[in-house]
């Protein structure tokens, strides 16, 4: 049972990540991967534990993620002329916790991420951690956490989700 559940977690992350890689056309499909109380978190510090009482690069619930997506898709968003584009290169996910009886799963994926707009090209690398919960027959993301290797570097505006 544990191996079957771990395989399901890996498939959700790999194929969910694939939809995320085609992010321009798949915003709604990507949002649908999240639990209604899901969060997207990019800590500001290494091994940061609290996204609320400590500053973060990003800490967004579904509403804020939808607002970001609508802003990016808007025709009057002049900071997006030309529009940002991205590419994700994902390593196979590692299952770090698997409790099928409780419907809780955790995975970690190394990534390289490239974002470009006009002549500007930015690269980021790090780890994406997913806390997943079972809802019916499916899995939903309760928390997607992005830990950047160079978390302490000065950044411009990160426009898209990694």
> Given the structure tokens 């977690």, which residue do they identify?
9
Residues 38 and 60 sit within 8 Å (Cβ to Cβ): no
Question: Would you call 107 exposed, middle or buried from its count of C-beta atoms within 10 A (0-12, 13-18, 19+)?
Answer: buried
Q: State the average pLDDT for the chain.
A: 84
The C-alpha atoms of residue 47 and residue 133 are separated, in whole angstroms, by: 23
26 pLDDT exceeds 70?
yes
| 19-23, 35-39, 48-52: least confident range | 19-23
Tokens describing residue 103: 């419907």
**Residues of the chain above pLDDT 90, percent:** 48
Question: Would you call 47 exposed, middle or buried from its count of C-beta atoms within 10 A (0-12, 13-18, 19+)?
Answer: exposed
14 pLDDT exceeds 60?
no
24 pLDDT exceeds 80?
no
Q: What pLDDT does 21 receive?
A: 43
Residues 146 and 131 sit within 8 Å (Cβ to Cβ): no
């Amino acid at each position: 049972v544990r191996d079957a559940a771990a395989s399901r977690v890996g498939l959700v992350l790999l194929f969910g990540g694939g939809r995320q890689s085609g992010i321009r056309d798949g915003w709604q499909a990507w949002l649908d991967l999240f639990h209604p109380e899901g969060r997207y978190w990019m800590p500001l510090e290494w091994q940061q534990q609290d996204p609320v009482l400590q500053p973060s690069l990003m800490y967004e619930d579904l509403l804020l993620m939808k607002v970001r997506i609508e802003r990016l898709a808007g025709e009057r968003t002049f900071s997006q002329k030309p529009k940002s584009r991205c590419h994700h290169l994902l390593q196979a996910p590692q299952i770090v916790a698997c409790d099928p009886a409780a419907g809780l799963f955790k995975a970690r994926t190394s990534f390289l991420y490239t974002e470009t707009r006009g002549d500007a090209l930015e690269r980021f690398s790090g780890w994406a951690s997913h806390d997943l919960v079972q809802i019916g027959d499916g899995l939903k993301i309760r928390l997607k956490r992005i830990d950047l290797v160079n978390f302490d570097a000065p950044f411009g505006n990160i426009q898209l989700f990694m």
